[in-house]
Amino acid sequence: MKRLERIFVRANGWAVILILGAMPLIVGANIGLRYLTGHSLSWADEAARYLMIWMTFVGAGLALRMGAHVAITNLQDALPGPGQKLLRGALVLVLLVFFGFMVSVGIDYAQRMQFQLTPALRVPFLYVYAAMPVGFALLIVHLLLVAPQFVRAGTYKDARDEDGGLREGANG
Q: Is residue 163 part of a domain?
A: yes
Cα 97 from chain centre: 17
Q: Is residue 40 part of a domain?
A: yes
Q: Is residue 46 part of a domain?
A: yes
φ and ψ of 79, to 5 deg: -85, 155
- Amino acid code (one letter) for 159: A
Q: Is residue 61 part of a domain?
A: yes
Q: Is residue 172 part of a domain?
A: no
**Structural domain boundaries enclosing 52:** 2-167
Helix (H, G, I), strand (E, B) or coil at 166: strand
Cβ proximity of 93 and 101 under 8 Å:
no
What's the pLDDT tens digit per position in 5-52?
Answer: 999 999 999 999 999 999 999 999 999 999 999 999 999 999 999 999
CB hemisphere CA count around 23 (13 angstroms): 14
- Number of domains into which the chain is organized: 1
pTM, entire model: 0.85
